[in-house]
């Protein structure tokens, strides 16, 4: 096993241990796309009803990673009322984005809503985040710097991020999604 793979396995184990603990006290740091993909997959695995995301463009090097996509689909299949809501800042091709395409192929596109942040709205904030059920989150304080903090089980911060998402969403434009795949 290569050193990088070993380090990623150790990071994955560490993140999963803290996610299982979910005490809202431990803080995980994230500085790479590989680490972010691990975090996103674990956040989807922990989510029960709602995942909200603020992202630049849903980069395939994070959101298109197999484990992230499979955990997103597993989350959406968990119950009939699970939902993913996403705000993107850049124009993205929803027909070719790997996360969106996977959700569509799984027949779950109806549980996904994507919004586009307006140019005016973009001037009012400089962060990205994912929050699940108002409990588990990854917060990146600056768009252009990949450093982020992650916590599992922090109700106070999780609920604050849900409120921020709701405010951003109310000032964003909903994008039309690709039609469901016909069987």
* Whether residue 65 has pLDDT greater than 90: yes
| Strand 172-174 relative to strand 148-151, pairing | unpaired
Helices (H), 22-65: 33-46, 60-63
Summarised one tens digit per residue, pLDDT across range 100-127 is 999 999 999 999 999 999 999 999 999 9
Which domains, and CATH codes, for the chain?
3-174 (3.30.870.10)
Summarised one tens digit per residue, pLDDT across range 1-59 is 566 676 889 999 999 999 999 999 999 998 899 999 999 999 999 999 999 999 999 99
Per the CB < 8 A criterion, the answer to whether 51 and 84 are in contact is yes
Question: Strands of 83-88's sheet, edge to edge?
Answer: 28-30, 148-151, 136-140, 128-132, 50-55, 83-88, 112-117, 172-174
Q: What pLDDT shows up at residue 25?
A: 93
* Whether residue 183 has pLDDT greater than 70: no
Residue range 150-159: average pLDDT?
A: 97
What rounded mean pLDDT belongs to the chain? Answer: 94
Q: What pLDDT shows up at residue 181?
A: 75
Q: State if pTM tops 0.85.
A: yes
Q: What pLDDT shows up at residue 182?
A: 65
Per the CB < 8 A criterion, the answer to whether 105 and 181 are in contact is yes
Per the CB < 8 A criterion, the answer to whether 19 and 136 are in contact is yes
Phi-psi region of 10 (alpha: psi -120 to 50; beta: other; left: phi over 0): alpha
* Whether residue 168 has pLDDT greater than 90: yes
Question: Using 50, 70 and 90 to split pLDDT, how confident is the model at 145?
Answer: confident
* Whether residue 159 has pLDDT greater than 70: yes
Q: What pLDDT shows up at residue 53?
A: 98
Summarised one tens digit per residue, pLDDT across range 68-92 is 999 999 999 999 999 999 999 999 9
Per the CB < 8 A criterion, the answer to whether 14 and 7 are in contact is no
């Amino acid at each position: 096993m290569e050193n990088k793979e070993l380090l990623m396995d150790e990071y994955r184990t560490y993140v999963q241990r803290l996610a299982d603990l979910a005490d809202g006290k431990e803080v995980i740091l994230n500085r790479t796309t590989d680490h972010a993909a691990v975090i996103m997959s674990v956040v989807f695995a922990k989510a029960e009803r709602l995942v909200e995301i603020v992202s630049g463009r849903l980069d395939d090097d994070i959101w298109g990673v197999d484990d992230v996509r499979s955990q997103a689909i597993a989350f959406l299949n968990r119950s009939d009322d699970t939902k993913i809501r996403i705000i993107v800042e850049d124009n993205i091709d929803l027909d070719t984005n790997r996360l969106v395409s996977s959700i569509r192929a799984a027949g779950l596109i109806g549980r996904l809503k994507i919004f586009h942040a307006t140019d005016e709205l973009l001037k009012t904030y400089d962060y990205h985040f994912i929050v699940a059920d108002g409990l588990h989150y990854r917060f990146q304080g600056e768009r252009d710097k990949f450093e982020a903090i992650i916590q599992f089980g922090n109700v106070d911060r999780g609920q604050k991020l849900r409120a921020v998402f709701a405010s951003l969403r109310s000032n964003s434009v909903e994008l039309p999604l690709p039609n469901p795949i016909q069987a």
